[in-house]
Amino acid sequence: MAFTDLREFIVALEKAGELKRIPFEVNPHLEITEFADRSVKTGGPAFLFEKPKGSRIPVLINAFASMRRMEIALGVQSVDEVARRISEYLEMRMPQGLINKLKMLPKLAEVGAFFPRIVSSGACKEVIQRDRFSLFDYPILHCWPADGGRFITLPLVFSKNPDTGKRNCGMYRMQVYDERTTGMHWQTHKQGAEHHRRMIKEGRKRMDVAVAIGSDPATMYSAILPLPPDLDEMMIAGFLRGKPVEMIQCETSDIHVPANAEIVLEGYIELGEQRTEGPFGDHTGFYSLEDEYPVFHVTCVTRRKRPIYATTIVGPPPMEDFYMGKSIERIFLPLMRLQLPEVRDICMPAEGIFHNLILVSLRKSYPGHARKVMHAIWGLGQAMFSKCIVVVDEDVDVQNVREVAWKALNNIDPERDIQFVMGPVDSLDHASRLPNFGSKMGVDATRKWPGEGFTRPWPAVIRMSREVQERVDRLWKMAGLKP
Ligand SMILES: Cc1cc2nc3c(=O)[nH]c(=O)nc-3n(C[C@H](O)[C@H](O)[C@H](O)COP(=O)(O)O)c2cc1C
Ligand SMILES: [Mn+2]
């Protein structure tokens, strides 16, 4: 069942005991961060701060910050259900040949009924402010002590590809500079940045952008999915929620936004204009440094009469974004296996912040297979950022990080098994020699084969015999020991 909007999601979270209302005053300057951080680290609830200091608009945070909340958000018992739905669809209509399979990817989104629908009225237009609006009216968080200011952290940023006219929606944080201007932190590899580059090249002066804050959870979640360029996030949102997303045209541009949004910021980016953005306490657990990014000028705000402001914090892991990312890992595995069926499972442990570490189990079929898989992952959408890829045999459970560490470290001859490559790296990598460009490491921790030049015998993992285990089961009980 699809949620109509953010409010219905909040009600569902509350019913499931996953949300706590905070009826007294809490400061969006640092205090809400401390609440959210403690809660996510201790398995605590999402929060609705009813009286954020300095604003009359309530703040929702940590709404996606557990696997249970992700399941509620996506209306499933387990996010594997979403993966299964995708798999079934792929199997149903699987064409022959790699190229045709690749062509399937956009088709996946085209499940007719899930196309977004254009509507002419919606809750996000209850109040239209072409003038007399201020971003300072909103309880926008100052997240961490050394942050450069207040940041909108959960925005759905809409722009259009000038060449194809296709829409993109990405989540890119926005630093508030004053009442009507913000930063636009789309990193260079992301689709918003690509649209921006193309418009500059065409010699345009302005780029229309619209930002929706707070929508139904599937629509919000779709903004972070690592989709191929020109594949509409709103179609995928329709697929996820099983119902089309209703889109409504902006007042001041021909960008469309979800009609159920709580708050919409309409505006433009002056092409060529840049301003210092950051520092910002980031999801690496470090502050990302100041850098130059485009500036977003807000020209109109449309919103609900009594909007709710949805936000998140990032910081030392695990944070809310870990659960959002873990769900991506589960949901995208079938898509990855479309191109790499030999991959059994993948895992991105929280401490690896997605881009620093990916563990892969492989059904190894030929010499050098692990390296082939590494290179394929470095060539696969946003997985290109993977700083360290560890490939193990299929009998290793990659969801068990301790098992991976134990077996992988035993299995490698480092000089032989570690592969370095150069390439694009995540913009948040503070260790690479240049921003956005650096080295990556693949570790082939599979058992080595004679065909790979390894002719020594390979030992078996130690296991007790079943017979002895069963005998000791009885003796154990006899000794009065706990099972
Ligand atoms: C809470 C949160 C904040 C994010 N902030 C940014 C950001 O500031 N800049 C950025 O480039 N990506 C950010 N991302 C990641 C992008 O949303 C993600 O890479 C997405 O796939 C980009 O979409 P695109 O491929 O359509 O550009 C953030 C993700 C989350 C979950
Ligand atoms: Mn996109």
**pLDDT over 60 at 110, yes or no:** no
174 Cα nearest atom in ligand 1: 8
255 Cα–ligand 2 center, Å: 15
- On the CB side of 41, CA atoms within 13 Å amount to 11
Mean pLDDT of 378-404: 98
| Per-residue tokens: 276 | 């210092």
Q: Which mutation among 61, 157, 169, 171 tests ligand 1's pocket best, with the greatest number of atoms within 8 A of CB?
A: 171
> Is the shortest distance between the CB of 185 and ligand 1 below 6 Å?
yes
DSSP codes, 185-200: ---TTSHHHHHHHHHH
| Per-residue tokens: 285 | 């657990």
> Is the shortest distance between the CB of 257 and ligand 1 below 6 Å?
no
> Alpha-carbon distance 284 to 301, whole Å?
32
356 Cα–ligand 2 center, Å: 21
Residue 455: CB partners within 8 Å, gap ≥ 6? none
The ligand placed nearest to the CA atom of residue 322 is 1
Q: CA dist 290 to 38, 145, 149, 152, Å?
A: 27, 15, 12, 17
295 Cα–ligand 1 center, Å: 17
**pLDDT over 70 at 95, yes or no:** no
382 Cα nearest atom in ligand 1: 19
Q: What's the pLDDT tens digit per position in 430-449?
A: 999 999 999 999 999 999 99
427 Cα nearest atom in ligand 1: 11
Q: What's the pLDDT tens digit per position in 418-433?
A: 999 999 999 999 999 9
% pLDDT > 90, the chain = 93
> Is the shortest distance between the CB of 153 and ligand 1 below 6 Å?
yes
**pLDDT over 60 at 277, yes or no:** yes
Residue of the nearest CA to atom 31 in ligand 1? Answer: 321
Average pLDDT, the chain: 96
> Is the shortest distance between the CB of 293 and ligand 1 below 6 Å?
no
- 363 — pLDDT class (breaks 50, 70, 90): very high
pLDDT attached to residue 122: 98
Report yes or no: 264 and 212 within 8 Å, Cβ to Cβ. Answer: yes
**pLDDT over 60 at 360, yes or no:** yes
**pLDDT over 60 at 107, yes or no:** no
Mean pLDDT of 101-126: 80
**pLDDT over 70 at 111, yes or no:** no
> Alpha-carbon distance 237 to 243, whole Å?
8
Q: Could you tell me which residues are beta bridge partners of residue 264?
A: 212, 302
- 150 — pLDDT class (breaks 50, 70, 90): very high
pLDDT attached to residue 93: 60
- Within 15-154, strands assigned E span 19-26, 46-52, 59-61, 117-118, 127-129, 150-152
The ligand placed nearest to the CA atom of residue 186 is 1
Q: What's the pLDDT tens digit per position in 177-214?
A: 999 999 999 999 999 999 999 999 999 999 999 999 99
Please say whether the dihedral angle defined by the alpha carbons of residues 338, 340, 343 and 345, taken in this order, is positive or negative. Answer: negative
> Alpha-carbon distance 241 to 122, whole Å?
18
Instruction: Say whether 282 is catalytic.
Output: yes
DSSP codes, 382-447: GGGG-SEEEEEETTS-TT-HHHHHHHHHHH--HHHHEEEEEEE--TT-SSSSBTTEEEEEEEE-SP
- 106 — pLDDT class (breaks 50, 70, 90): low
154 Cα nearest atom in ligand 1: 1
The ligand placed nearest to the CA atom of residue 231 is 2
pLDDT attached to residue 6: 98
Burial state string for 192-212 with b = 16 or more CB within 10 A and e = fewer than 16: bbbbbeebeeeeeeebbbbbb
- 345 — pLDDT class (breaks 50, 70, 90): very high
**pLDDT over 70 at 8, yes or no:** yes
| First-last CA distance in the chain | 43
> Is the shortest distance between the CB of 191 and ligand 1 below 6 Å?
yes
Report yes or no: 387 and 425 within 8 Å, Cβ to Cβ. Answer: yes
Q: Comparing 22-26, 113-117, 192-196, 327-331, which segment has the lowest mean pLDDT?
A: 113-117
pLDDT attached to residue 108: 59
Report yes or no: 58 and 48 within 8 Å, Cβ to Cβ. Answer: yes
The one catalytic residue in 282, 345, 417, 444 is 282
- Within 312-379, strands assigned E span 343-347, 358-362
Question: DSSP assignment, residue 352?
Answer: G
pLDDT attached to residue 174: 98
**pLDDT over 80 at 248, yes or no:** yes
Mean pLDDT of 111-125: 91
Q: What's the pLDDT tens digit per position in 75-92?
A: 999 999 999 888 887 776
> Is the shortest distance between the CB of 274 and ligand 1 below 6 Å?
no
pLDDT attached to residue 208: 98
